[in-house]
Amino acid sequence: MTTQSGRATTPADDPDHSGAALLSTRQLRRILPAAVMFTWLGPFAMDAYSPAFPAIQAEFGTSAGLVQATLATTLIGLSIGQLIVGPLSDRFGRRRPLAVGLLGYVAASVLCSFAWSIEVLIGARFLQGLSAAAGIAVARAVARDVHSGPQLARFYSLLAAATALAPMLAPIFGAGLLEAGLTWRYIFGLTLLLGVVGLGLVSFALPETHPDRIGGRTPPTRAERARRATVDGPALTLWSLLRRRHVVVSALVLGFVGAAMIAHLAGLSFFLQTERGLSPAGYSIVFAADAVGMVLANHVNRFLLRRFTAQRLLSVAVPAMLTIALVFAVLLRFDAPLPAVLPALFALVSCWGFVMPNAIAVGMSVERHAAGRASAVLGVAQFGFSAVSAPLVGIVPPAFGAPPMATVIVVCLATAFAVQLLARIRLPRRPRTESPSVTAPARSADHAGCEHACRAAG
């Protein structure tokens, strides 16, 4: 619903939508495609060069473990970068930290293209992940600025479905360049182009959505920030966010399931090409088919969110994914043919389309002023745990005859399921005491909106 001036209106009794009310309909429509492009930065950088792992290993005369370390350092950069950019976006607005990150992404892509040793490539990939983190952190925070509750979960599901095109298209482009006779270095020219497009979107398409700066608002003074620290203190530090059960549980589940998916990415190229003899093009086709399954799962998830909460769907998706992973591990243990292995792999990756958007939606149900920090907490867990699982694929010994990739996947998913089970244990609540200076009218409308969003997210 819009007014005659073209500005979007929202129900008066939902103060958490005040940010969206200050944006025009055209600006709101620009947010999703811009957010998709920004979240592409990390996945495209990780997946586009994955068909070239054997080629990189051959050119530098190094081990598979060091090649996989280029993926691990990217994930470390993505974790640290979100921890930096998330709070900065809460302090300075969404667009400025994002623009700086995109400039770094372009520079890191150039360095990757001209890397003269595996050590330089590892370092350049860290810088690329560090700068790509700005896109992921800001995209999630922007969504929280303008949505809440079930709408937020549906937006993240749609964002995840669109973002799934990156891992689907990236290896196809990368393998296409290799099949055309070009070296793996040209693949990073694609990431450079993506960074340039992102800079254009920041400059001309993405509106400022931060609640303190949206619609040309004057940023809060130091006194105003101090007042918020008294009234809404639990939302204003990273540490205090870690006291909220729904944030911590969502971050841990997202982190361990994300680690399982990165373990699959780190080992799949060597499994399909080195062990099963597929070409880079054949590998990219398998990867693309799995990504299609994830896109379909995201669309089904959006439909299910009309009847079930994000928390309910998340509680079903993780054990289902663990069950499929066990089947996948058994098939690899007995050297099953690809026609039997690939459907299990397809189902495994598709389940990620149910886990990721719902875990993010539950974890991001915080005050809008703390959206960047909540995004940082989720991002550190998602990519920090993955930074550990990626190199483990190259060093973990087989368990019960299953290859290391399957072993790491099963352990990560089992840990995520254990976190969910432990979270269901209700600890006795201590009586809450509230400062006399914080009266009921003093509680901000944004905090009330957060409570509404948390209840809606389950």
On the CB side of 27, how many CA atoms lie within 13 Å of its CA? Answer: 20
- Residue 426 has a CB neighbour count (10 Å cut-off) of 6
Cα–Cα distance for residue pair 338/408, rounded to 1 Å: 20
- Residue 200 has a CB neighbour count (10 Å cut-off) of 12
Set out the domains of the chain in order of their start, with CATH numbers.
22-213+235-424+443-456 (1.20.1250.20)
pLDDT of residue 54: 82
pLDDT of residue 343: 92
Calculate the alpha carbon distances from 118 to 69, 70, 184, 247, 319 in Å: 9, 8, 13, 37, 38
pLDDT of residue 399: 64
pLDDT of residue 157: 76
pLDDT of residue 231: 44
Per-residue pLDDT of the chain (458 residues; tens, 9 = 90+): 344 334 433 333 344 444 555 566 676 777 778 888 888 888 788 778 877 888 888 888 888 778 878 887 888 888 888 888 877 887 777 888 888 989 999 999 999 988 888 889 999 999 999 998 888 888 888 877 777 777 777 777 777 777 767 766 777 788 788 878 788 888 888 889 988 988 888 888 777 776 666 655 555 555 555 555 444 443 456 666 667 788 888 889 998 998 898 888 778 877 787 777 777 778 778 877 887 888 888 889 888 888 888 889 999 999 999 999 999 999 988 888 888 889 999 999 999 889 988 888 888 777 767 777 777 788 778 777 877 787 777 777 766 667 788 888 999 999 999 999 988 876 555 554 444 443 344 444 444 445 444 444 44
In degrees and rounded to multiples of 5, residue 147 shows phi and psi of: -135, 165
pLDDT of residue 216: 52
pLDDT of residue 20: 55
